[in-house]
Chains A and B, each alone.
Chain A
Amino acid sequence: MSPTLALTRRRFLKFGLTASGALLVGYRCSAAARATVPSELLGDDLVSLTAFVMIERDNRVVIGARGCEIGQGVITSLPMLIAEELDVEWSRVRVIQLPYGYEEVDGKPSNRYGDQFAGGSTSIQTAWKDLREAGALARWLLLQAAANAWSVPVENLRTEAGHVLNVDGRTLSYGALARTAAALPMPANAPAPKDPDSFKLVGKPIRAADGRRIVTGQNRYGIDEYLSGALVAVMLRCPYLDGTLESLDDSEARKVRGVRDVVRIEGPKPGEPFDGPLAAGVAVLADNTWAALQGRNALKPVWKQGPWAEESSAALAARANALLDEDKDGIEVRKDGDLAKSRKRARHSLSARYEVPFLAHATLEPPGALIELRQDGALLIASMQNPSGASRVISELTGLPRDRIEIRLPRSGGGFGRRLENDFVAEAVQIAKLAGKPVKLMWTREDDLAHDFYRPFGVHALSATLDRRNRVEGWTHRCAATSRTYRTARMQDDPAWTGCLEPDDFPAGLVDDLEKTFFPVQSGMPRGWWRAPLHTFHAFAVQSFIDEIAYEVRRDAVELRLEMLGEAREISYRGHGGPVFDTGRMANVLRLCAEKIHWKEKRTDGRGIGIACHFTFGGYTAHAFEVSMDGERLRIHRAICVVDVGRVVNPLGLEAQMMGGTIDGISTALNLAITVRDGQVEQKNFPQYPLLKMADAPKKVEVHIVESTRDPVGGGEMGIASVAPALANAIFATTTVRIRKLPLLPELMRML
């Protein structure tokens, strides 16, 4: 790579600096020469030791955080892994957020920072390998530099707290070594990271790296970014699924003081994948948000209802149930043994149906994007989870090569899967193209609830057969749902049940005769990933049903689960989080959870307890709740969450994720649903989508983290799937009302 005329100024500057001695090296040895660091990292007294590490002369260290921070803590946990391998004191580390690191290597898209995607709870797992190696590489360079300086074999040296220590007692600080270290050639092979048992930092509770900026209001989220010359855009989108704009009177809107322009945005073609905006609409551009909102209020559009004008939640539920009743043409998801036989033999058989609603993500920071398009490049600043998707979207819409698109990754006000989509980026690009100006697109809460990629809606029909010793022998799980794959371009080759049913999820592999079948339900609602998507979608049904079985045959609900899990062993799990499911780890968190809630203790005070467990993306979680009814109010006296995610990088962060997951789970299970009527989403704002308030949340979530030496998985999505069934089971224990439909509270009020 050599500087050419085609290089942008910024890139050229960086390259120039590189040439002048502050060598920038990549985290992959092979890509060493190509790696660059963001301009804010460059300074006179800073030496870059990898794409992630800068060392100051006074021995302070700057570490770049590559992940999209959406509240899951990667701005802290990922740099911790690097700091650990580098052997520096955390108190001397300053963390900065890295931008999206797109580059082309041999003409192929690549990323100089590795994986920056925030989805599927994979950040920790990936970083456990490559970021530790990045830290180890930087440390290796410093060791070599010291060995050269002292002319001693590197074996005589070790590192500690930002210094290289010689056996003869001499020491050199990293700051003193950085310049020579940066000039060294890369090793042929990646230096091995530390033995995890020798960790000093990883495994200790560490507070958010940018906590001070948060509590002082200095942190800038996507929504907080401005650009001179940019106009604020607010859109009025067609409220009908796949509807269109028939006509528009924007004369009043244009009269609003501060309004500069009104432009029309095409919606997706009905039936075709969503790869741009979700809905047809009109954008009002103005000097500020208030003027844009006023302008939007003054628009007089005539909408044409689309092909889904009749769609309603009631009809969808009826359709799903009819498909399950007819039981024809289901898609086989998994089939083991011979169900007919176990049915014949069965001493008991049981069936039940459970309904789960559409859900919106409702990130507290609504979607939005700030975009500047130039002849030779583009700048995007937005809260997101999927910057490479955003880069593709911009490139496709503008024709700009991806390496000319600069994307910054501010902290996001929540993600939960909403920002895996980049519809809002596509909107901003289209508006900016039409307006010929940089655009700061703002979504309101109303926009957000009415135009989301919703968690699918579905009905689960479960049945089980038990032998004469009341052991579960046969299991059927039939699910009729609005398939997740609907109009998702990258999922066109995936089976329709993807994201709704998982062939290998519990109790697959644990009962002899098992069938899982899927029935797609047609719907015009856009669908997406919602925190622990598949798992929050079906664990409620499975784990409620286990309790129903236990109750029916008078068995202990924990014992029954343990019996089904059987002896501790690894069984095959092909879904995300596999390749194995460890029955022993699942049993262990369940047992621990039962112990913490005093499962065996009979409650005589009107309180009831419920429990559930679930395997999510490689993590094992159990929840238990102790609840009572206080008139019409459900009181949660105790909330327990036990989790095993392998080795823990930041226990304080993991505890937060489990606490947050548990409360998200409670909030969603008790009250949240998105419903459709006449082809429109009914919920407008928080009063109709009532997130849990502090007064109704448990005062404490007792989080217990299982100590483990296994390689870690993430934590962002492991704390939620078992919440809804554990709550439903607890409500049953205290009220004897079995709720089979989410959200729980409206159903409970109806049934009490």
Chain B
Amino acid sequence: MKAGNEAAGAANAAPAKTQPEQLPVRINDKPYYPDGDPQMPLLWYLRDVLRLTGTKFGCGIGACGACTVLIDGKAARACLTPMQAVSGRAITTIEGLEGAQLHPVQQAWLEHDVAQCGYCQAGQIMAAIDLLARKRKPSDDDIGEIANLCRCGTYPRIRSAIQRAAVLMAEGNS
């Protein structure tokens, strides 16, 4: 499945060839020089071209948050972000979180067994990371600002997992 002129599949799409006139988009710490339709939303580039399918499609209009990724550390809707807007920026997807060990938010998600169908959870986790980067001890209302939809109704466990992640992160920093 090729995306316009882009090389098909993750293997060919990475890493970058030298194209000095274009700033690479860094995705999970690897540079890419997409040469397909600049209007293509990041969501489809991630999924169809790089096969990073952890980022999900739920609505395509920015209403559900299933496609939430971090762009320069801030939560953004990949379905509304055209590729032309991300050159020179750093993108983190759910696949890029895990280092030597799970990210504390992923850890907290596991501890609280948050997922039901799990489809929204990558987006929820990215949104939670963004929130915790801004508020180290988020209040209930702060957490309520996350507008990602969960069709399965996992919100109470998302809340407790975020509180738990805040504790884990504070411990990690001390």
Same assembly: yes
- Chain A residues at the B interface, C-beta cutoff of 8 Å: 69-73, 207-208, 211-212, 214-221, 223-224, 226, 230-232, 257-258, 287-291, 294, 362-366, 411-416, 440, 442, 444-445, 652, 656-657, 659-664, 667, 685-687, 691-695, 697-701
**Also in contact, A289 and B151, with CB within 8 A (given A445-B60, A686-B63):** no
Q: Check A414/B144 contact, CB under 8 A, given A71-B152, A691-B151.
A: no
Q: Verify B63–A290 contact, CB threshold 8 A.
A: no
With A290-B48, A364-B64, A693-B147 as given contacts, are A660 and B59 in contact (CB-CB < 8 Å)? no
Most A C-beta atoms less than 10 A away, residue of B1, B110, B159: B1
The CA of A736 and the CA of B16, in the complex, are separated in Å by: 66
Determine the distance from Cα of A442 to Cα of B48 in the docked complex, in whole angstroms.
12
Q: A258-B4, A695-B144 are in contact. Are A363 and B151 (CB under 8 A)?
A: yes
- Residue of B with least CB distance to A720: B153
In the complex, per-residue mask of B68-110: 1 if CB is within 8 Å of any chain A CB, else 0: 0000000000000000000000000111011000100010011
Instruction: Check A700–B63 contact: CB distance below 8 A.
Output: no
Q: How far is the CB of B45 from chain A (nearest CB, A)?
A: 8
In Å, the complex CA distance between A416 and B115 comes to: 16
Q: Verify B117–A70 contact, CB threshold 8 A.
A: yes
Task: Give the residue of B37, B116, B120, B146 whose beta carbon is less than 8 angstroms from that of A73.
Answer: B116
Complex Cα–Cα for A231 and B48 (A): 11
Q: Which residues of A contact B158 (CB under 8 A)?
A: 694
A440-B159 Cα distance, complex, nearest whole Å: 36
- A212 and B114 alpha carbons, distance in the complex (Å): 11
Chain B contact-residue range equals 35 or more
Q: Choose from A366, A415, A687, A695 the contact partner of B63 (Cβ within 8 Å).
A: A687
Q: Are A217 and B54 in contact (CB under 8 A)?
A: yes
CB contact between B37 and one of A290, A664, A686 (< 8 Å): that residue: A290
Chain B residues positioned under 8 Å from A257 (CB to CB): 4, 37
User: In whole angstroms, what is the CA distance A663 to B156 when docked?
Assistant: 9
Chain B facing A: main interface SS: loop
Nearest CB in chain A: distance from B146 CB, A: 6
Q: Is the CB of A364 within 8 A of B61?
A: no
Are A291 and B153 interface neighbours, CB within 8 A?
no
Contact between A411 and B118 (Cβ–Cβ < 8 Å)?
A: yes
> Known: A217-B54, A411-B117, A694-B159. Contact between A291 and B3, CB under 8 A?
yes
Min C-beta distance of B35 to chain A, whole Å: 12
CA distance A415 to B117 in the complex (A): 9
A659 to chain B, nearest CB (A): 6
Per-position 1/0 for B52-64, Cβ under 8 A of A: 1111111111011
For the complex, what is the distance from the CA of A221 to the CA of B118, rounded to whole Å? 10
Using Cβ atoms and an 8 Å threshold, which residues of chain A touch B60?
444-445, 685
Given A208-B115, A211-B113, CB of A216 within 8 Å of CB of B102: yes
Residues of B within 8 A of A442 (CB): 57
Q: Which residue of A lies closest to B148 (CB)?
A: A694
User: What is the CB-to-nearest-CB distance from B30 to chain A, in angstroms, rounded to a whole number?
Assistant: 16
A289-B48, A694-B143, A700-B156 are contacts. A232–B113 as well, Cβ < 8 Å?
no
Q: Contact at A218–B118, with CB atoms within 8 Å?
A: no
Contact at A224–B53, with CB atoms within 8 Å? yes
**Are A290 and B120 in contact, CB atoms less than 8 angstroms apart?**
no
Q: Which of A208, A413, A442 is packed against the most chain B CB atoms within 10 Å?
A: A413
A414 touches B55 (CB 8 A): no
Judge whether B146 and A230 touch: CB under 8 Å. no
B147 touches A694 (CB 8 A): yes
Of A223, A291, A294, A445, the residue contacting B59 (CB under 8 A) is A445
Which of B63, B94, B116 has a CB less than 8 Å from the CB of A660? B116
Answer whether A215 and B58 are a contact pair too, CB < 8 Å, given A364-B120, A662-B153: no
A216 touching B117, Cβ below 8 Å: no
Q: Complex Cα distance A363/B57, Å?
A: 11
A697 touches B155 (CB 8 A): yes
- Asked if A290 and B102 make an inter-chain contact with CB atoms under 8 angstroms apart, the answer reads no
B137 at the interface (CB under 8 A from A): no
CB distance from B55 to the nearest CB of A (A): 7
- The 7 A-B pairs at the shortest CB distance, nearest first, are namely A217-B54, A663-B153, A413-B119, A71-B117, A217-B94, A695-B144, A224-B53
21 contacts between A and B (CB under 8 A): A71-B116, A216-B94, A217-B93, A219-B118, A221-B56, A224-B53, A287-B2, A288-B1, A289-B57, A290-B41, A291-B3, A364-B151, A365-B119, A413-B151, A445-B64, A652-B113, A656-B116, A660-B154, A686-B149, A691-B149, A694-B146
CA distance A366 to B56 in the complex (A): 10
Contact partners of A207 in chain B: CB under 8 A? 110, 113
In Å, the complex CA distance between A220 and B52 comes to: 10
B66 near A364: Cβ-Cβ < 8 Å: yes
**A659-B153 in contact given A413-B118, A414-B117, A685-B63 (Cβ < 8 Å):** yes
Residue ID in chain A nearest B143 by CB atoms? A694
Is B149 a contact partner of A288 (Cβ separation < 8 A)? no
